Amino acid sequence: MNLLVLMVDQLAGTLMAGGPAPWIPAPHLQALHDRAVRFEAAYCASPLCTPSRAAFMTGLLPSESGVYDNAAELPAAIPTFAHRLRALGHRTILAGKMHFVGPDQLHGFEERLTTDIYPADFGWTPDWSRPDARIDWWYHNLGSVQHAGTAQTTNQLEFDDEVTFRTRQRLHQLARRADDRPFTLVASFTHPHDPYVARPEYMARVPAESVAMPEVAAPADDPHSRRLAAVADSASFPLTEAHVRAARRAYAANIAYLDDCIGAILATLAECGFAEDTAVLFLADHGDLLGEHGLWFKMSFHEASARVPLWLAVPGGPPPARVETPVSLLDVGDTLVALAGGDGPRDLMALVPGGAGRPVPAEYMAEGAVAPMVMWREGDWKFVRAPGDPDQLFDLATDPQECHNRADDPAASEVLAVMRATVAARWDLERLADDVRKSQRRRLLVHDALSRGRRTGWDHAPVDDAGRRFMRNHLDLNVVEATARFPRAEEME
């Protein structure tokens, strides 16, 4: 069976339960949702791009892989699901973003069709030795919200246009070449990640009056949320209700744009005759707070930041179903390997129907933190522990918006005691904090040194040999035209 993975960036799972929210026009995603197994309580392993994606690729938490933040290297010796699938005979292909840091820009993929949108070096390394410093040249700020609106093109739109084109082109190439290997093709987009800027035709699909505003707009007052507000330079960018509405509208418009991109890829999959033998997985790396609790972007364990959509449609597999058991992106690799006929002990499809779930761990060790933060979701309860900060305990069954911290509630004392004991047994947070600081110091030194003199980048540069494309005089015109055509002329007779 072939595998098509459709990954998007910063799409809140809270907006995708039951399919895209009514104010988000995304008919292709709705159709995919309706034919898929939907994991409605899926969580990323870390609410930040690089550590989340590394965990998705490897099945390892950041504390296990060393990928703590957006400038941490995934060691080449750690197997990914791309390695495992390639060993099973799959042709493994990546188009788009995966934010690998370091010289290895493939990590098991046989082909990478585009470069990445983000840098591959150590320049974005946080520095916990300066907890009050704000690194303006790469930290998020709320200018993304203040300046939300329309544009004909942007850095991100050009990137996702290319991801769509290269993915469809590769599907056509796979269809017309003699290669019996099944494929795993990952198409990874950068939208709807901020900045919140959309093309006018997509903004027109989202009437301003239809936009749902944050359900909990009051700013959260826990220490981490205050630090996140400082990281986003909130004081320099005061927001009005109009700013919030415009940003959320552009966010929805960019989901509509993604919907067209994904619809085109799925149409090409069908046109090439692959649809009946290709499992389609849709997911995001993390969410976006979009003003919930007064916060934006991610970097928080609040639901809008840590919860993601996770849908899997398998031809001939389980019928459409809704799985409410909490799950983690850590288990996606095993699920893909199991679909390919390999050993996937943490296969999520074992939860369909009614399988026993597992507790869900998550970690955060990047900007806005001053020590490791960990989350433990078990049943209806979510527990967040960060040395130096007050504990947080939420009952998501009765408080889905996480407005009432039960850590000081005597009625929840037994649950709190169990959660604290579980976290203490699983993590040595003092040692982990020391490991993170050592990693930061090493990477900051290396980046400073490599920034001097002649620079040699690690960014992926796709090979596109023009001498072998289209018509060239060392090629036979008849062969070129025959092999480039799909379907072949003889297949249409």
Residue numbers annotated as active site: 49, 99
Amino acid letter for position 122: F
d(CA 363, CA 361): 7
d(CA 146, CA 239): 7
E strand intervals along 207-334: 278-284, 307-308, 310-313, 321-323, 327-328
| Buried-state track 445-483, b at ≥16 Cβ within 10 A, e below 16 | eeeeebeeeeeeebebeeeeeeeeeeeeeeeeeeeeeee
d(CA 451, CA 320): 51
Axis crossing angle, helix 241-271 with helix 27-34, rounded to the nearest 10: 60
Nearest to 106 by CA among 422, 114, 334: 114
Amino acid letter for position 482: A
Beta bridge partners of 281: 5, 312
Report the sign of the C-alpha dihedral through residues 438, 443, 448, 453, in that order: positive
Strand order in the sheet with 42-43: 307-308, 42-43, 327-328
> Are 304 and 14 within 8 A, CB to CB?
yes
d(CA 374, CA 385): 5
d(CA 62, CA 68): 5
d(CA 14, CA 292): 11
